[in-house]
């Protein structure tokens, strides 16, 4: 069987692979000049607005993540222990191994009675997704004897 391009005259020269030929000598390049381009015909001379790619566009600072329901499942126990402690500012840590979030609660003042319920101010920290929040709030003891956060606000936050 023969192929139409298999003769010696039809060989494709492959440069350095074909030892029978030599590479052409490099030639000097023409001089390159630069000049600003004008607008295309029919366009105004005003510069078009330049769009910044989304990857480089400035972004607004993100809000630190809030305590999720799964975080509260772990944090609630620490809140209860901190509120039941006799000492103020005794820090009780918590951590959620599923989300990686962690923090601590501490009672900020002694217990008071509000509308017939025993309540206590607390301070807390919450860290998740590279952000750390400082929280302040109030927890009150429920009729069943559990401490429940009734008010929480952000005191300050920072990026880790």
User: How big is the CA angle at 68 (ends 80 and 73), to the nearest 5 degrees?
Assistant: 35
Place of tokens 């609630």: 76
Q: Would you say 139 and 149 are in contact if contact means Cβ atoms under 8 Å apart? A: yes
User: How big is the CA angle at 156 (ends 104 and 99), to the nearest 5 degrees?
Assistant: 45
* Whole-angstrom Cα Rg for the chain: 36
The overall average pLDDT reported for the chain is 74
DSSP H helices, 30-154, are 69-84
d(CA 105, CA 123): 6
d(CA 111, CA 105): 15
pLDDT in tens, 31-81: 555 555 566 666 665 555 555 555 555 554 455 557 888 999 899 999 999
Q: Is the pLDDT assigned to residue 105 strictly greater than 90?
A: yes
pLDDT in tens, 127-140: 998 888 899 999 99
Question: Which residue in 105, 159, 113 sits closest to 137, CA to CA?
Answer: 105
């Amino acid at each position: 069987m023969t192929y139409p391009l298999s003769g010696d005259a039809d060989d494709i020269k492959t440069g350095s692979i074909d030892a029978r030929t030599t590479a052409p000598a490099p030639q000097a390049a023409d001089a390159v000049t630069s000049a600003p381009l004008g607008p295309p015909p029919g366009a105004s001379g005003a510069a078009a607005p330049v769009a910044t790619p989304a990857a480089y566009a400035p972004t607004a600072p993100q809000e630190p993540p809030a305590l999720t329901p799964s975080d509260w499942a772990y944090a609630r126990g620490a809140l209860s222990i901190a509120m039941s402690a006799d000492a103020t500012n005794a820090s009780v840590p918590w951590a959620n191994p599923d989300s990686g979030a962690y923090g601590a609660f501490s009672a900020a003042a002694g217990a008071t009675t509000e509308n017939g319920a025993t309540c206590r101010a607390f301070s807390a920290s919450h860290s998740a997704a590279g952000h750390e929040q400082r929280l302040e709030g109030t927890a009150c003891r429920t009729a069943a004897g559990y401490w429940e956060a009734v008010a929480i606000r952000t005191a300050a936050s920072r990026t880790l």
